[in-house]
Each structure stands twice: as structure tokens, then as C-alpha cells.
């Protein structure tokens, strides 16, 4: 505290002596240089809070941007076209209407129809959670390794941006083929997509 008071008094007296016209570098050169040195250190000390504030205001956004950029590099990026094309693509078949009632896009459907892997999809589950549109007859569906399925066009666009399942956030590589029970009740939990497009063409 005493040292701070001394520098404060010296700062005022030194400025008056240096800039008041009563000092001379020729009469007392050593004292003059010592006074200049003390005044310089005092100016730096008093200006340091403002300098630090200016540095923080100027550099902090850059630091945050760099840290965010490095964090983005560590995050999962979009999948490659090869990884997307390696996923199974299948057809969706609507259930046939009963008693002449229309069923156009309003009910469930069948996956892998006519095979031992045939699965029934309820009307509740026959919805793409990417575009929120119902599956129509002969729609192309893409199945991910987590056994969730979506419109081929919708999920391909999604995977090019983020290589995670839109529903359960599982990575498309190295995931168990057992469907996780995440969200939307029983959504796709026991369903498998079938009728590979190539086998139908």
C-alpha cells in the first residue's frame, strides 16, 4: 500500500517536474533519466487494466472462434457417399384396404413382403421422422445399422450433414443391428425393412 502511494505521488510530482519546464536534462541528467523511467513504469502500470480490457475484448472472440472450430473438428461430420450407398435400400408396401375402404397413405404397411423376414408396420410407425410424411406404396426406404428406416432421399440428405441416426443418434458405422428402444414408444423397435431394390429390378 505504501509503495502504491509513493508511486502515485511520484507520478504527479514527476509529471509536474518533467512537463512543468523546471527540469533540465543537462543540469541533472541522471535524475532526469530516473524520473523518466519511473514515469514510464507508472504510466504502464496505470494503463495496464485498460490494455488488458482492450486485449480481452479484441482477442476473446478470436479465442472462442478457434476453440469452437477445434470442437467442430472433433465432432462427427457428415457421412461419405460410399458409406451412405452401402446402407440397405428397400421398398415399402401398403396394406391392402379392407371392405373397399381407401388406404392411400393412411395406414400401415408390409416390409420384406412374401419372405420369412416379413414385418408388419403399423400406421403409427409408417411415418418418416425426417420429413414427417407417411410412407406411400413403393416408397424407397433406407435402413440404418440401428434398424431405423426413413425415406431414402430424406435420410441421405441428413447423413451428408450428420452421420448419426435422426431418431436415436447412433453412428451409422459400428452400431449393433438391434434396434434401440428410444423415443416414439415402439417406433421401429421390432421392424426390419425389406425388398431390396436391386432384387426387385
Q: Are the CB atoms for 127 and 134 separated by under 8 Å?
A: yes
Tens digit of pLDDT per residue, the chain (201 long)?
676 676 677 677 777 766 666 556 666 677 777 777 877 877 887 888 898 898 888 888 888 887 776 666 555 577 888 888 888 888 888 876 665 555 454 566 766 555 565 667 777 778 888 898 888 888 888 888 887 888 989 999 999 888 888 888 888 874 433 333 333 333 443 444 444 444 444
Residues carrying CATH 3.30.40.10, the chain: 76-201
Q: How far apart are CA 191 and CA 110, in angstroms?
A: 10
Task: For residue 86, give the DSSP letter.
Answer: T
Q: How far apart are CA 44 and CA 7, in angstroms?
A: 12
Residues forming a β-bridge with 109: 94, 121
CATH of domain 76-201: 3.30.40.10
Amino acid at each position: 500500500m505504501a509503495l502504491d502511494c509513493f508511486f502515485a505521488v511520484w507520478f504527479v510530482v514527476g509529471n509536474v517536474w518533467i512537463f512543468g519546464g523546471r527540469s533540465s536534462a543537462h543540469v541533472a541528467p541522471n535524475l532526469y533519466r530516473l524520473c523518466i523511467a519511473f514515469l514510464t513504469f507508472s504510466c504502464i502500470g496505470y494503463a495496464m487494466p485498460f490494455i488488458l480490457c482492450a486485449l480481452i475484448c479484441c482477442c476473446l472472440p478470436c479465442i472462442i472462434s478457434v476453440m469452437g472450430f477445434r470442437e467442430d473438428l472433433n465432432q462427427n461430420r457428415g457421412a461419405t457417399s460410399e458409406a451412405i450407398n452401402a446402407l440397405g435400400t428397400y421398398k415399402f408396401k401398403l396394406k391392402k384396404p379392407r371392405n373397399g375402404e381407401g388406404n392411400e397413405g393412411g395406414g400401415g404397411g408390409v416390409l420384406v413382403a412374401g419372405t420369412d423376414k416379413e414385418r408388419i408396420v403399423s400406421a403409427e410407425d409408417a411415418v418418416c421422422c425426417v420429413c414427417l410424411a407417411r410412407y406411400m406404396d413403393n416408397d424407397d426406404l433406407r435402413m440404418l445399422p440401428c434398424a431405423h428406416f426413413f425415406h431414402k432421399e430424406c435420410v441421405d440428405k441428413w447423413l451428408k450433414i450428420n452421420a448419426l441416426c435422426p431418431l436415436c443418434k447412433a453412428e451409422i458405422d459400428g452400431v449393433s443391428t438391434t434396434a434401440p428402444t428410444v423415443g416414439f414408444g415402439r417406433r421401429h423397435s421390432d421392424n426390419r425393412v425389406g425388398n431390396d431394390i436391386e432384387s426387385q429390378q
